[in-house]
């Protein structure tokens, strides 16, 4: 295992300490339990946005803490969701009296820990909403699986909801916006190489020199299928087509009912993308794939979208939701309307994403 780390067990903490040292004007880092909050937290009267998940996906989530995006991020161990008490402490640290929106990626671990945290926060009288992100079209059904994973759309929802919170959206409106953003986003990813979880010390899977894993998540897990690695255009087309041709996706999601103080199952349906839609196109590196290759993928993506008469009006290209040093790429398309476009364009000031500020 070749990494720029010291002791394996200190990796997450030391990385957070480095982040604290690098961006004192933007974020404050709390250790044991670990969470990162924006420097001016709590912002009184604003709904607070909390997200979290395993470490190893940097800059997600801690890199997106700051004005116009997250109020707090809770990094767990590498690829391990944070714990309820960790989430609860972060929630307390950023709660500004207007409630807390938890943006939760749909993995059993993340979901359960966030549910326990929400119960604890609610018991303390904090208004909370947990909205799930489940946008990975590589997972086809929700009947025979844990349901679609939360991947690329997560970061877009964080940006968009963060902007809305700054604009003064209340918790109900923000929860609805987050649900809508999730419904509008679809993603799919692939890997050229595996990655090495520091505590294990060897790659999670082995791939032949001419193979790729397609339909991967963001935890270095093997994907849906192993296939011969084709040219970049074919990879891009494969991912883009899976997203563009994905049919309506229905499933039952569990959300916290604040009036009943109980979990409630709600049925959700994501409408497919269709000709005439305008989208944000997000081409993401899994960590080890350099920018020049992302643009090769983007080039073909733009062509495929044109063919489907889906118009790209915003683009985002870079390593934003990663799996350690994994080489690979994911594509996310987010259907935009004026509300989402405007919120995407709003100023943001975080360690990893910054504009208009």
Partner 1 sequence: MPLTLQQTRAWLERSAQVLSENQQHLTDLDAAIGDADHGSNMDRGFCKILAALAAGAPADIGALLKLAAMTLIGSVGGAAGPLYGTLFLRMAAEAADKAELADAEVVGMFRSGLLGLQDRGNAGPGAKTMVDAWLPAVDALQAGVAAGQELASAAHGMRLAAEAGMRATIPMQATKGRASYLGERSIGHQDPGATSTFLILRALDEVLRSP
Ligand X SMILES: Nc1ncnc2c1ncn2[C@@H]1O[C@H](COP(=O)(O)OP(=O)(O)O)[C@@H](O)[C@H]1O
Please identify which of the residues 23, 61, 95, 219 carries the catalytic annotation: 219
Q: Residue 82 touches which of a copy of itself, partner 1, ligand X, none (CB < 5 to 8 A by kind)?
A: partner 1
Residue from 108, 250, 264, 315 in contact with ligand X (CB under 6 A):
108
| Cα gap 175→221, rounded to integer Å | 30
Please give the backbone phi and psi of residue 332, each rounded to the nearest 5 degrees, phi first. Answer: -130, 135
Residue from 33, 96, 109, 272 in contact with ligand X (CB under 6 A):
109
Residue 183 or 227: which CB sits closer to a copy of itself?
Answer: 227
57 flagged as catalytic? yes
- Site membership for Mg ion, residue 79 (CB under 5 A): yes
Among residue numbers 192 through 211, which ones bind a copy of itself (CB under 8 A)?
Answer: 192-193, 209
Contact present, 62 and 40 (Cβ < 8 Å): no
30 flagged as catalytic? no
Please identify which of the residues 57, 61, 95, 308 carries the catalytic annotation: 57
- Site membership for a copy of itself, residue 187 (CB under 8 A): no
Tell me which long-range contacts 2-6 makes (C-beta under 8 A, separation of at least 24). Answer: 3/196, 3/198, 3/325, 5/198
- Site membership for partner 1, residue 261 (CB under 8 A): no
Q: Is 106 exposed, middle or buried (0-12, 13-18, 19+ CB in 10 A)?
A: buried
Residue 67 CB, nearest distance to partner 1 (Å)? 28
- Site membership for a copy of itself, residue 34 (CB under 8 A): no
Residue 178 or 304: which CB sits closer to a copy of itself?
Answer: 304
**Residue 114, H or E segment:** helix 108-123
Residue from 299, 307, 309, 339 in contact with a copy of itself (CB under 8 A):
299
> Which residue in 77, 221, 76, 61 sits closest to 139, CA to CA?
221
Residue 150 CB, nearest distance to a copy of itself (Å)? 20
Position of minimal CB gap to ligand X: 109
**Residues annotated catalytic, as ranges:** 57, 219
Residue ranges that bind partner 1, judged by CB under 8 A: 33, 54, 76-86, 107-109, 112-113, 115-116, 138-139, 144-146, 149, 197, 199-200, 204-205, 215, 217, 219-222, 224-225
Residue ranges that bind a copy of itself, judged by CB under 8 A: 2-7, 11-12, 14-19, 21-23, 55-56, 58-59, 63, 192-193, 209, 229, 231-233, 235, 281, 283, 287-300, 302, 312, 315, 317-319, 322, 324-325, 327, 329, 351-352, 354-357
Residue ranges that bind Mg ion, judged by CB under 5 A: 79-80
């Amino acid at each position: 295992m070749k990494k720029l780390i010291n002791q394996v067990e200190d990796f997450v903490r030391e990385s957070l300490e480095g982040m604290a040292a690098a961006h004192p004007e933007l974020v404050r880092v709390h250790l044991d339990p670990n969470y990162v909050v924006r420097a001016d937290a709590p912002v009184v009267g604003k709904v607070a946005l909390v997200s979290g998940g395993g470490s190893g996906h940097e800059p997600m989530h801690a890199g997106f803490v700051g004005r116009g995006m997250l109020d707090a991020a809770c990094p767990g161990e590498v690829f391990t969701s944070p714990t309820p008490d960790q989430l609860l402490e972060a929630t307390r640290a950023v709660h500004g009296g207007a409630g807390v929106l938890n943006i939760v990626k749909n993995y059993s671990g993340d979901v359960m820990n966030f549910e326990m945290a929400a119960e604890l926060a609610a018991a303390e009288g904090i208004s909370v909403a947990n909205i799930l992100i489940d946008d990975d079209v590589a997972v086809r059904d929700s009947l025979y699986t844990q349901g679609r994973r939360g991947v690329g759309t997560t970061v877009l929802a964080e940006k968009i909801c963060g902007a809305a919170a700054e604009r003064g959206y209340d918790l109900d409106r923000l929860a609805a916006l987050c649900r809508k953003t999730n419904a509008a986003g679809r993603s799919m990813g692939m890997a050229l190489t595996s990655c090495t979880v520091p505590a294990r010390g060897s790659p999670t899977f082995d791939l032949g020199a001419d193979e790729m894993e397609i339909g991967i998540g963001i935890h270095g897990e093997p994907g849906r299928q192993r296939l011969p690695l084709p040219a970049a255009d074919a990879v891009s087309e494969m991912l883009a087509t899976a997203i563009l041709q994905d049919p309506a996706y229905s499933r039952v999601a569990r959300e916290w009912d604040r009036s009943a103080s109980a979990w409630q199952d709600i049925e959700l349906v994501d409408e497919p993308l269709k000709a005439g839609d305008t989208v944000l196109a997000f081409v993401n590196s899994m960590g080890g794939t350099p920018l020049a290759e992302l643009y090769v993928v983007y080039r073909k993506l733009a062509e495929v979208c044109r063919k489907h008469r889906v118009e790209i009006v915003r683009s985002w290209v870079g390593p934003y939701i990663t799996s350690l040093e994994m080489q690979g790429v994911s594509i996310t398309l987010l259907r935009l309307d004026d509300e989402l476009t405007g919120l995407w364009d709003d100023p943001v000031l975080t360690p990893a994403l910054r504009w208009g500020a």
